[in-house]
Chain A
Amino acid sequence: MASVAGGSAAQTPPAAPGGSEHSLRAPTRRQVFERVVSLREGSIIVVTIITAIYFSANTSSFFTGTNFKTLLPYFAPFAILAAGEVFVMILGEIDLSIGAMYLFAPILFYKLDTSLGFGLVPGVIVTLLLCMVVGALNGFFVAVIGINSFVATLAMLFTFEGLALIISHGTPVATPGAQPPLGTFGKVFGGGTYAEIIWAVAIVAILQVVLTFTRWGLYTVAIGSNKLGAAEAGVQVKLVMIRNYMLCSLTAALVGIFEAVRSATVQPDPAGANEILFLAVAAGVIGGTLLTGGSGTIVGALIGALFLGILKDGLILQGVNANYLLFYTGLAVIVAMSANVYVSRARRGHSGSG
């Protein structure tokens, strides 16, 4: 929960100047609430807190130190995946191939380490670089060739899931460097209790700064809002798009390795990876990034992932069975998104009048 409070606190100051023109007096509680809610991430923060309070009240084991640790792997990997995906979604595109990168990276890492003798850290680095090449290919197909991103990355999803099955012979293997007792490599790359959350917070923080304060971020938003306009203003549209796809593949490959280290096994079954892909996209959208592009938030993606994680962990703690779990998850996402849409409409109305 600390990350939620941190996220909202960090986001409050930039919003304050716009709002404070209206009143010179100290803001009332209602105004504070309105300001938080009118943040891009605002509604999902509120919904997440309400969800956490609900489970704390209903399940004695939810608000405990043990569950804090249990909860981490429920959302940290998705936060990292979604952080990269948001960069593509802001462009108004999508990257479905993250499912394949998630699956392919640990298999590639295994092969590099065991068959080609790269060693652990060089193996990871080369894996990440190769996956970024795949990302560049994605970007090339979308930005240069002009294939619709859904279809292009779907094709890449199949291609690399297939390749993962081919080079692994469809057989799961033990992740190198992840077998007990866990060494430094294993602890850093996903095996340690707090490894994934530390990576997630760091990556989210860095990418949020990149998105908000750098030219790269500005160009990304500009392309997503108006591609033609951005190009005419001198933005190298194709280059930015390719770069964002590379970033997206990088984060997905990183998560693939983390998760393979955490579970100590490299699984080549694409079914699991496809589910991960949709949850990551969902985390981004729930967090306040538009699928249509032009607007997005990395911190929101983290909170979106946290919301989905709390929901799943809480429902399991409550004793909900698998079939009902899907049902409740679906309902909760609909409610959260309705709140999101309602609030963003209110926000637009507010800024329009002011």
Chain B
Amino acid sequence: MAESDQGLEAARLHGYADSTVIDRPGFDRRAFLRRTALTGVAAGSVSTLLAACGSSASGGGGGSASVFGSHASYKFVFVNHVTTNPFFTPTQYGAADASSLLGCSYQWTGSESSNVNQMVNALSSAVTAKADGIAVSLIDLHAFNAPVEAAIKAGIPVVAYNADAPGNARLSYIGQDLRKAGEKMGERIVSDVGSGEVALFIATPGSANLQPRIEGAEAAVKASGKPITLHTVATGAAVPGELSTIDAYWVGHKNTKGMYAVDGGSTESLAKVMQKYGLAAKGVKAGGFDLTEQTQNLLKAGDIEFTIDQQPYLQGFLPVLQLFMYKVSGTLTGLAETDTGLKFLNKETVAPYVSSKSRYEGTATAAKVIA
């Protein structure tokens, strides 16, 4: 991340805690106050730490002991719903980088195929292995409530990343505010399309990491009062299937004025369909989420108008950081609700992503400073 973004990020941390948490259903005021109090401390510690990182990088590893005192080599476990999905490659780099910065280790496990039973099994194994902390993507509203409570009862702090479930006992959430992201997209649909038929593509409807975006978009369109008819279309979890679904949808619904997707795979497929039929030139509007390489290229070529970045790297880096702080501070500090962002990228602003290869986007393995 560029140096100047740190301030922005910290500001966003504050802004998020002050305004948006309240919108969450199942919101707990007491927990909110506690978290808000922690946010300031944590945001401060982020910048201190990043500064420390700059100086200790030249001095070699093991710098964390000189800052925080000598600590055990903590082991944190990430439980993920699609462990081998390329979206999470930068997340794993983030977790790896934070771990080596702080003298910890991390494990990446869970399910390859959104199977919540396998995720619950992996979570139980992490508790059995006495992990020092667990980060889990809460893609289901019910499945993780009891296991997370059991882990916390066993003395293992649990944070959520990438997807959150209201009412879950997790100590903090690090990821995009999914409903707000959907609302922003909905506002964009209203201003770009204005009226007519609009398709919303979603890989797996109902999953807690995608559905809030659809709901947010629907709410924003409804609130605008514009004569826009939304059609939600399920595309499935695999890219080849998504491509044919979206292709077929366009062929069958040529009066569609705008097509939007709420997940990375569908966005990439949507962009390919837009390119195939030259729809941007015909005035069809399109946009979506996340930054696969194909999405970047097609956005730059002008086939879609925007994509929304949620900084997957930070979704690995910050959970390790928060869990680490929580451990070294003896639970006094570290946890903070963190919105990893809602960054609209367009044809121009996507350029640096296309031209650079980095761990932050999962396109390179080697760490290097991007000038």
Binding site for B on A (CB under 8 A): 59, 61, 64, 66-67, 69-70, 73-74, 77, 165, 169-175, 179-180, 259, 262-265, 267-269, 271-276, 312-313, 316-317, 319-323, 325-326
Contacts and interface: CB of A to CB of B under 8 A. Distances in A.
A74 to B, nearest CB: 6
Contacts of B129: 59, 61, 316-317, 319
Q: Which 5 A-B pairs have the closest CB atoms?
A: A272-B115, A171-B206, A322-B83, A271-B113, A263-B143
Given A271-B237, A276-B115, A321-B109, 6 more contacts: A170-B204, A174-B142, A265-B140, A271-B238, A316-B129, A326-B112
B196 to A, nearest CB: 25
Given A180-B145, A323-B84, A268 B122 contact: no
B180 interface: no
Nearest to A321: B108
Contacts of A173: 206
Contacts of A165: 234
Interface string B43-63: 000000000000000000000
Interface string B108-130: 11111111111011101111111
Nearest to B114: A269
A263 B139 CA distance: 12
Contact of B145 (A70, A264, A269, A271): A264
A272 B130 contact: no
B115 A267 contact: yes
Given A264-B145, A267-B140, A319-B129, A74 B114 contact: no
A262 to B, nearest CB: 6
B25 to A, nearest CB: 15
Contacts of A276: 115
B131 to A, nearest CB: 9
7 contacts: A66-B127, A169-B205, A263-B142, A269-B237, A275-B115, A316-B109, A323-B108
A272 B111 contact: yes
Nearest to A178: B142
Nearest to B96: A321
B128 A317 contact: yes
A53 to B, nearest CB: 18
A263 B109 contact: no
A273 B112 CA distance: 11
A265 B120 CA distance: 12
Interface residues of B, number: 42
A269 B207 contact: yes
A235 to B, nearest CB: 39
B359 to A, nearest CB: 16
Given A263-B120, A271-B237, A322 B110 contact: yes
B128 A66 contact: yes
Contacts of B207: 172, 269
A322 B124 CA distance: 16
B75 interface: yes
Nearest to B238: A271
Given A61-B130, A70-B125, A73-B117, A320 B107 contact: yes
B67 interface: no
B125 A313 contact: yes
A contact patch SS: helix
Contacts of B120: 73, 262-263
A313 B120 CA distance: 12
Nearest to A312: B121
Contacts of B114: 267, 269, 271-272
Interface string B255-275: 000000000000000000000
A61 B128 contact: yes
Contacts of B296: none
A175 B142 CA distance: 9
Q: Which of A165, A169, A172, A321 has the most CB of B within 10 A?
A: A172
Given A73-B121, A316-B129, A264 B107 contact: no
B140 A180 contact: no
A325 B207 CA distance: 25
Contacts of B130: 61
B113 A259 contact: no
A125 B140 CA distance: 27
A60 B114 CA distance: 29
Contacts of B127: 66, 70
A62 B109 CA distance: 17
A171 B20 CA distance: 26
Contacts of B128: 61, 64, 66-67, 70, 317
Contacts of B294: none
A305 B120 CA distance: 18
A350 B122 CA distance: 43
B351 interface: no
B160 to A, nearest CB: 16
A322 B112 contact: yes
A322 B80 contact: yes
A319 B142 contact: no
Contacts of B110: 322
Given A169-B205, A269-B204, A263 B116 contact: yes
A169 B205 CA distance: 8
